[in-house]
Amino acid sequence: MFKKLLVANRGEIAVRVLRTAREMGITTVAVYSQADRKSLHVEMADEAVEIGPPPPLESYLNIERIIGAAKATGAEAIHPGYGFLAENASFAKACSEAGLIFVGPPSDALRRVGDKLEARQLALSVGAPVIPGMTAVQPDIGAFKKEAQKIGYPVLVKAAAGGGGKGMRVVSSLADLNAGLEAAMRESQTAFGDATVYLEKYIAEPRHIEMQILCDEHGNAVWLGERECSIQRRHQKIIEESPSPVMTAKLRVEMGQTAVKIAKAAGYRNAGTVEFLYEKGHYYFLEVNARLQVEHPVTELCTGLDLVALQLQIASGEPIPLTQEQVQPRGHAVECRIYAEDAARDFLPSSGVIAALAEPQGPGVRCDSGLREGLEISVHYDPILSKVITHGESRDEAIRRMRRALSDYVILGVATPISLLLDILKHPAFLSGKLSTHFLDHHFADWKPPRPSENVQEMALIAATLARAGARRSDGALSSKARPTPWQTIGHWEIAHG
């Protein structure tokens, strides 16, 4: 095992990777932009290197700076997290050219699965079911029109380099095709630096079900069970769970084996996810996510494995330490993503300062977070703040636990989707497992946050007034630790009747 690891990411995923690395006795190096000087991942690492101004292109996407930081600190390996450079074949190549271990697939495999069209060909070559659509990059709008005509509207325009729902547009008629292509290309260019898009049949009511896999350089490969990620907004997952409510033991083995076949055909290595759409008993290969995914904790809680530890072991050349038979998922896990966004205003990202924070705790509750009070949530980066993951003996227990955890989660200062998530977790369609990627459109299109009851409103008014009274009283009476000790505050008030 290497001795020193640089984590080329920020936020909750950098913190999560750093924790495992520290537990393995590996010295850790964080990198950070000028906007992230006070971030938790910077504090947690043994060393930290500033790599540039806030815009990602000048810092977290700056390959030269990151490799420079690794060389300067003597790091032997780089973990890219997710997003940023995680699936960037040039970065993987630059790492190996600099003599650094890239904790992820080899550059070739990244390129192969990163190109959606090539990945599709790979899937076809091993006999995996795929969605009807384009099989090669098309030069002009005419080709798109023809293909759309052939497979029938609605069609889906997708970025070839895409992921995370970016650079994707549903086009329901010829009249909208041009605008949809343009929007997808513009977004793809911005997000991935590549405007190439393609087109496929739009599946009306799919579930998103994906399979976690591991491959090592010794030819071993295992699948670790599925995650259902159908609850999405803006094509981006917000609730994930495992097992999927529609999964059968037979289908799981079939999808698992298909996923491993695709990965092997791609020369894949390390942890990865093969995504499928599922509708009415059929599944279709969607794409390979060649990275540790946001929702990986769902699989960790079910299998008892530490995927980051396994990633580091595989990257250092060790074989996968378990056989397919030793993978024995247990119970049910659910993850809710907490974004800085306003669910009532079309999920508009929200920036600001974390003014108050209390994260959920307790048996079966895990909170992967990069937050602390006083942290500024910058406009420069993906607005994910944290993830709450719960595990229970049954789906019902995991969901009830999640409701308890979310209703204990205090975040003030930025908007979060917590009240939407709580409403979803109570919805009959969710509870009965009737999911599709259009779940939110079907059931929550006009969602408004529940109006606070008159009692809750009055308590808010009273608490705000008490806080002002308290703040006033502590003026000039503050201790040197700059916050009032309990006995300096207003204390216990018993209000007499009448």
Which C-beta is closer to a second copy: that of 191 or that of 309? 309
Counting residues that bind another protein (by CB under 8 A) gives 87
DSSP 318: P
| Residue 451 binding a second copy, by CB under 8 A | no
The one of another protein, a second copy, none whose footprint includes residue 64, by CB under 5 to 8 A per kind, is: none
Which of 10, 291, 337, 401 is catalytic? The answer is: 291
Residue 67 touches which member of another protein, a second copy, none, C-beta under 5-8 Å by kind: none
Contact present, 415 and 340 (Cβ < 8 Å): yes
Smaller CB distance to another protein: residue 16 or 166?
Answer: 166
The residue within the footprint of another protein, chosen from 46, 279, 376, 397 (CB under 8 A), is 46
Footprint (CB under 8 A) of a second copy, residues 388-447: 391-393, 397, 400-401, 403-404, 408
Q: Is 353 in the site for a second copy (CB under 8 A)?
A: yes
Contact flag: residue 204 with another protein (CB under 8 A): no
State CA 336 to chain mean position distance.
10
CB of 333 to a second copy, least distance (A): 11
For every residue of 388-450, DSSP letters joined together read EEEEESSHHHHHHHHHHHHHH-EEESS--SHHHHHHHTT-HHHHTT---TTHHHHHHTT--PP
Contact criterion met (CB below 8 Å) for 297 and 353: no
- Strand residue runs (E) in 80-129: 101-102
DSSP for 240-261 reads EEES-TT--HHHHHHHHHHHHH
The window from 3-11, 94-102, 361-369, 377-385 that contacts another protein (CB under 8 A) reads 377-385
Q: Which does 42 bind (CB under 5 to 8 A by kind): a second copy, another protein, none?
A: another protein
How many residues of this chain interact with a second copy, rule: CB under 8 A? 61
In SS3 terms, 154-214 reads as: CEEEEEEEEECCEEEEEECCHHHHHHHHHHHHHHHHHHHCCCCEEEEECCCCCEEEEEEEE
| Residues between 455 and 494 with contacts to a second copy, criterion CB under 8 A | 467-468, 470-472, 474-476, 478-486, 492
Q: Does 189 bind a second copy (CB under 8 A)?
A: no
Applying CB under 8 A, the span of 74-82, 353-361, 435-443, 454-462 interacting with a second copy comes to: 353-361
Is residue 291 part of the annotated active site? The answer reads: yes
Work out how close the CB of 251 gets to another protein at its nearest, in angstroms, rounded to a whole number. 34
Alpha-carbon distances of 222 from 124, 235, 272, 314, rounded to whole Å:
20, 28, 11, 12
Q: Which residues are tagged catalytic? A: 291
